[in-house]
């Protein structure tokens, strides 16, 4: 078997498993220590329980080339994505809250992002089951 096929199979076996192992840890951390910009915006969804499903953070450092007098500029981008319960059963969507530096946070409601996330979960679980099953048949670990 080629190295690339073996790498894809290992990713299918352990990548989805890692997501399901680490996601509850991140959900618990978000419950204990909520992100303040998200907490403010999610309070507008009364009666809903936000469940963290994804997060990202990126910091970029920029300095103009050949300009030693100008200060370096740091840009920090943070984002959290939530599924709202019980609204997910009536109107499935992901609510994303993002913030750049100290600007006011913005929110984005996206039903298509929910479908993409849910589809990724279904395909990931099926791929993981297929990879685990194939590894048992071939005797590979």
Position 141 in a domain: no
Position 140 in a domain: no
Range of the domain at 110: 3-135
Quick check: 110 and 97 in contact, CB under 8 A?
A: no
Total-model pTM: 0.73
How far is it, in rounded angstroms, from Cα 37 to Cα 23?
Answer: 20
Question: How would you write the pLDDT of the chain (141 residues) with one tens digit per residue?
Answer: 578 877 777 777 777 778 888 888 989 999 999 999 999 899 999 889 999 998 999 998 887 766 667 777 889 999 999 999 998 888 899 999 999 999 999 999 999 999 998 898 888 888 778 777 877 665 544
Position 32 in a domain: yes
Per the structure, how many domains does the chain have? 1
Position 29 in a domain: yes
Position 124 in a domain: yes
Handedness of CA 102, 107, 112, 114 (dihedral sign): positive
């Amino acid at each position: 078997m080629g190295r690339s096929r073996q790498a894809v199979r290992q990713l299918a076996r352990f990548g989805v498993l890692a997501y399901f192992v680490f996601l509850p840890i991140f959900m618990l951390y978000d419950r204990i220590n909520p992100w303040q910009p998200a907490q403010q915006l999610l309070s507008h969804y009364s009666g809903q329980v936000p469940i963290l499903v994804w997060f990202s953070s990126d910091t970029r450092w920029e300095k103009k080339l050949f300009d030693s007098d100008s200060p370096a500029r740091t840009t920090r981008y943070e984002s959290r994505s939530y599924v709202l319960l019980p609204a997910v059963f009536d109107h499935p969507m992901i609510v994303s809250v993002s913030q750049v530096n100290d600007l006011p946070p913005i929110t984005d409601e996206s039903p298509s992002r929910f479908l993409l996330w849910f589809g990724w979960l279904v395909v990931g679980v099926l791929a993981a089951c297929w990879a685990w099953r194939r590894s048992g048949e071939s005797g590979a670990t």
